[in-house]
Amino acid sequence: MDAREEGLPGKARFSAQPRVGRWLSPFFLTCAVYFLLWSPENQPSWVGALVKCLPILYLVVFLWTVYPGGSYSLLLQGALLCSAVGDSCLVWPEAFLHGMAAFAVAHLLYLWAFGLAPLKPGLLLPILLASIPYYGLLLWHLPPDMVLPLTAYSLVLAVMLWRGLARGGSTCWGALLFTLSDAVLAWNIFVHPLPHAHLVVMATYYAAQILIALSAFQSPRLKSN
């Protein structure tokens, strides 16, 4: 079996880096366009949703074009598409639950891609120590109809973080930034508005997605040391 299909972590494939670098400029350009056009006074619209989703949709095209083969890349593309659906839903506050469901599916696809090797159960302890106090405080401020959905989503997110940390490399940092982005978003919505929350949420979110996408270019060879 081709080890690349297993999506095992390891060193970056240096031969792919120049080609990859040429394809990253549109991602940063679409991110810049979003931050330049977004305003707190903007009304929800399909144009706004499209501009918000463009960086994520570009990452799908990026992986499909530059790294088309392998189940790992396909799972990442599926997760990115689900994320784009979630991004669109979150433009409209009344579609918040639909957006959260789309992101939950994205995290499940990331989990499938990351796999269970290496297991590293010791990583669960720091995740639990950080997550339990945070979500304990958050639950006190949730509307009753949001308690179960957000609890389920939080569990999926925590497991995704565990597997991302266990995988290492850019996946590790991507999973951490994704978790930070969601944590700031939830606190800003349900507990207390934070200064510049939207900029923090979206900057960490876009960074998380590109770091996870770049994990497709890690070598399948495990470090011998």
Q: Which pLDDT tens digit goes with each residue over 136-155?
A: 999 999 999 999 999 999 99
Helices (H), 67-123: 71-90, 96-114
CA distance 58 to 68: 14
Residue 153 lies in a domain: yes
Residue 4 lies in a domain: no
Mean pLDDT of 80-103: 97
> For residue 110, what pLDDT is reported?
98
Mean pLDDT of the residues in the chain: 90
Which of 15-24, 30-39, 197-206 bottoms out in mean pLDDT, i.e. has the lowest?
15-24
> For residue 13, what pLDDT is reported?
44
> For residue 56, what pLDDT is reported?
98
- Do 163 and 111 contact (CB within 8 A), yes or no? yes
Residue 132 lies in a domain: yes
> For residue 19, what pLDDT is reported?
66
Question: What residues contact residue 33 under an 8 Å CB cut-off, 6+ apart?
Answer: 51, 54
Residue 72 lies in a domain: yes
> For residue 17, what pLDDT is reported?
55
Q: Burial of 186 by CB count in 10 Å (0-12 exposed, 13-18 middle, 19+ buried)? A: buried
> What is the residue range of 42's domain?
20-216
Residue 11 lies in a domain: no
pLDDT band at 219 (very low <50, low <70, confident <90, very high): low
CA distance 73 to 220: 13
Q: Which pLDDT tens digit goes with each residue over 34-74?
A: 999 998 888 999 999 999 999 999 999 999 998 877 899 99
> For residue 125, what pLDDT is reported?
97
> For residue 7, what pLDDT is reported?
47
Residue 93 lies in a domain: yes
Dihedral over alpha carbons 102, 107, 171, 70 (to 10 degrees): -90
Domain count, the chain: 1
Mean pLDDT of 163-181: 97
Residue 5 lies in a domain: no
Between 13 and 72, the higher pLDDT residue: 72
> What are the tokens at 13?
């494939």
Cis, bond preceding 118 (omega within 30 deg of 0): yes
> For residue 101, what pLDDT is reported?
98
**pTM for the complete prediction?**
0.89
Residue 224 lies in a domain: no
Q: Distance of alpha carbon 225 from its chain centroid, rounded?
A: 30
Radius of gyration from C-alpha coordinates of the chain: 17
Cα angle: 71, vertex 74, 149; to 5 degrees: 110
- Do 174 and 155 contact (CB within 8 A), yes or no? no
